[in-house]
Structure 1
Amino acid sequence: MREAEFNHPRLVEVYDAECPWSREDDFFVSAVSAAEESGGELAPGGRRVVDLGCGTGRLAIGLARLGHRVTGVDPAAASLRRARGKAGAERVTWIEGTSPVLGDSAYDVAVMTSHVAQFFVEEDEWRRTLSDLRRALVPGGRLAFDSRDPDARGWERWNPIDSRHRITMPDGSVVDAWTEVTSVDDGAVDFTHHCTFHDGEELLSTATLRFRSEQAIRSALDAAGFVVEDIYGGWNRESVGASDGELLVIAHTDR
């Protein structure tokens, strides 16, 4: 099933168990907190934040608990059901959809985490998404997202040996998981996640990610009307080329 990890209820539970709060979330909390307030009636210290591709809501709920006004947007109904059932979910506005649903000048900060930016495989879709985000942000609004650095060639470790790991579920059962790449074509990487459950059921999730270079990201942001503030290579704000193999982008709209 295509992108079943976000759409199949059992795989959504696996995703949630595999992805607890981490330094990645800390990075985005810091990016949101550093954004300048601009316009609107905000709660003390709060920002109006949209989490595009919010998934099961871990970061959205965390940001809301810090006093931000958060909207979580995602096209996967199963992921949003999971998000809505979590403690603190009532603090977040949840919307099923993609970037066209965003209101004009509605947010001070936009985030895309967990490499959501790479799921926009086609360049037209990527350009439309950045344009929608530009429209949805106030003048001077901030955008933060992550994308894997193609120079790190991380997909080469997505194989049955290097990627195999075990995930402990809340009920104590264990899921055996691994990933295999099925094709690599001009920066587009097709892959399949395999999950085998304690009862013997195996579920597959296929997807494609686009690996964009730092220069390609900078060019797309410039064309969409964003100004790049920083691009880091690691979660501790190391330079591009750091061992984390990331491109962590912080940009803002023109004032």
Structure 2
Amino acid sequence: MPDAIFAHARLAPIYDAFDGDRDDLTAYLGIADELGADRVLDVGCGTGSLAVLLAATGRTVVGVDPAEASLDVARGKDPAARVTWVHGEVGSVTAPRVELALMTGNVAQVFLADEDWGRTLTGVRTALRPGGHLVFETRRPERRAWEDWQTDDAHTVLDIPGVGRVEQRREVTDIRLPYVSFRHTYRFMTDGAVVTSDSTLRFRDRDEVEDSLAAHGFQVHEVREAPDRPGREYVFIAQRTG
């Protein structure tokens, strides 16, 4: 089940407002250009910010996500229906094989069990043409991002058009490495409603990620820094073998 922050009917429409400017997405457009990818799969596309940007360049784009509420927001950004939106896991994608699959943000870290991560990699490999690439980011565990989250006040109030003033609070609720859990709490000031969303991320180290990719038919060609978070994340560029 996707977290409420993506799946709840009141939270998905305000996700972008609190997420802020996605200056991390430009790097992925550049990678798509670098790899010459015309057919792209956005795995865990959420509210569709990256998929819409990719489609605007003339590419054929498929966005897949298990949260229908987020896909509703994504469709609203795509009135010309240039993106094929798929509700479900990556294994639900039946479109022609793509040249590039992407996972941005925390998508690669939401798969907590090895079985779930392996099933996702298998689904991505099936969706890719031979020689196609998988590119994704993941937080470096040695950077210990959760310590910043613990000391950050993480209290924000925004006045969102069509919604009104909404307060967001974030707190770390559990640390049992490699798992870190946290909670977002939203208070809608127009009616006083309070909605919470609990999330857990798994922090895999570089060797663990590379081993899992090799075990599921990928060869890692490069591991880069995330331009918007230098020293904090790995960006893996892997190619489908066979």
- For the criterion TM > 0.5, the same-fold answer is yes
5 Å-filtered alignment, 1:79-94, equals: 79-88=70-79, 90-94=81-85
2:157 paired with 1:166: yes
Aligned residue number for residue 142 of structure 1? 133
SS of the aligned residue for 2:154 comes to coil
5 Å-filtered alignment, 1:1-255, equals: 3-36=3-36, 47-88=38-79, 90-103=81-94, 106-159=97-150, 161-171=152-162, 173-199=164-190, 200-235=192-227, 242=231, 245-254=232-241
CA distance in 2, matches of 1:151, 1:213: 8
> Gaps spanning 5+ residues in structure 2: where?
none
1:44-87 superposed Cα distances (whole Å, 9 cap, x missing partner): xxx11111111111110110011110011011111111111224
SS of the aligned residue for 1:230 comes to strand
Shift of 1:198: 2.1
Which region of structure 1 is more displaced relative to structure 2, 150-159 or 68-77? 150-159
**Aligned residues of 1:227 and 1:252 also touching (Cα < 8 A):** yes
CA distance in 1, matches of 2:125, 2:66: 20
Shift of 1:161: 4.5
> Gaps spanning 5+ residues in structure 1: where?
38-46
Shift of 1:168: 3.8
Shift of 1:153: 0.9
What one-letter code is carried by the residue in structure 2 that aligns with 1:13?
Answer: P
Q: Aligned-residue CA RMSD in angstroms? A: 2.2
Provide closer, same or farther for how the CA distance between residues 99 and 222 of structure 1 changes in structure 2, counting only shifts above 3 A. Answer: same
Question: What TM-score do you get using the length of structure 1 for normalisation?
Answer: 0.87
Shift of 1:237: 8.7
Shift of 1:118: 0.6
Shift of 1:88: 4.4
Aligned residue number for residue 40 of structure 1? none
Question: What TM-score do you get using the length of structure 2 for normalisation?
Answer: 0.91
Identical pairs, percent: 38
**Aligned residues of 2:86 and 2:93 also touching (Cα < 8 A):** no
What one-letter code is carried by the residue in structure 1 that aligns with 2:209?
Answer: I
Provide closer, same or farther for how the CA distance between residues 108 and 237 of structure 1 changes in structure 2, counting only shifts above 3 A. Answer: farther
1:187-243 superposed Cα distances (whole Å, 9 cap, x missing partner): 1112111112222222100111111111111111111111112222332695xxx1x
Shift of 1:21: 4.5
Higher strand fraction (1 or 2)? 2
SS of the aligned residue for 2:81 comes to helix
Provide closer, same or farther for how the CA distance between residues 150 and 167 of structure 1 changes in structure 2, counting only shifts above 3 A. Answer: farther
